[in-house]
Amino acid sequence: MKCKFPFESDIVLNAEVADINSIVDASFASVKVFACLLTLQRTNFDRAVDSLQNEFCAFQMDDLPYETKEEKNIDIQWSKVGKLMGLDGKLKYEIISKVMIGILTIPHSNAECEWIFSLVTKIPTKFRSSLSNQILGNLLTVKSRMQEPCFNGEFDVQFLKRAKSATTSSLKE
């Protein structure tokens, strides 16, 4: 794990900036790394980065409402920050809150991939070893879209006849 984890990645090194409790000590360079990665008005990028830096500096100096500070979930904290209004009636931290929520939505787990690999090894058992890759892919697609267990499904007679016919013709091939 230590050999494979990208400890030197800019994303890993700068992701701590999304922690509201430590943002006072953070550098704008950490925020800018993510501004470059995330879609930040590519047409007027320099102007957008300037606005982001202004919001970042103002945010570091601002006192947050008690409800925002006491919130346990960091994504909800940033959502609340994004809704704060200035004296002029405009959103105070619209850009920085979007960038920080963008940081929080970067996938940081391979659990979904592991789940799929686990399914791939469970579906073709010794009794079902003749499944082709296409059929295996189709089974995984159907399984991932099912809302409830298959035994709870109700199928009409016509559907069952067509399924049986398709299975029979597939087995003859």
Query: CB within 8 A of 96, min separation 6: which ones?
Result: 31, 52, 55, 56, 59, 81
Average pLDDT of span 17-34: 88
* CA 137 – CA 118 distance, rounded (Å): 13
Residue 133 has pLDDT above 90, yes or no: no
What percent of the chain stands above pLDDT 70?
A: 79
The reported pLDDT for the residue numbered 59 is: 92
Average pLDDT of span 99-112: 76
Residue 6 or residue 83, greater confidence: 83
Write out pLDDT tens, residues 72-82: 998 999 999 99
Whether the predicted model's global pTM rises above the 0.75 cut:
no
* CA 13 – CA 75 distance, rounded (Å): 19
The reported pLDDT for the residue numbered 171 is: 78
Q: Mean pLDDT in the chain?
A: 81
The reported pLDDT for the residue numbered 42 is: 64
Query: Helix, strand, coil proportions of the chain in percent (round to 5)?
Result: 70, 0, 30
State how far the alpha carbon of 96 is from the alpha carbons of 12, 45, 119, 121, 135, in Å: 19, 14, 40, 43, 46
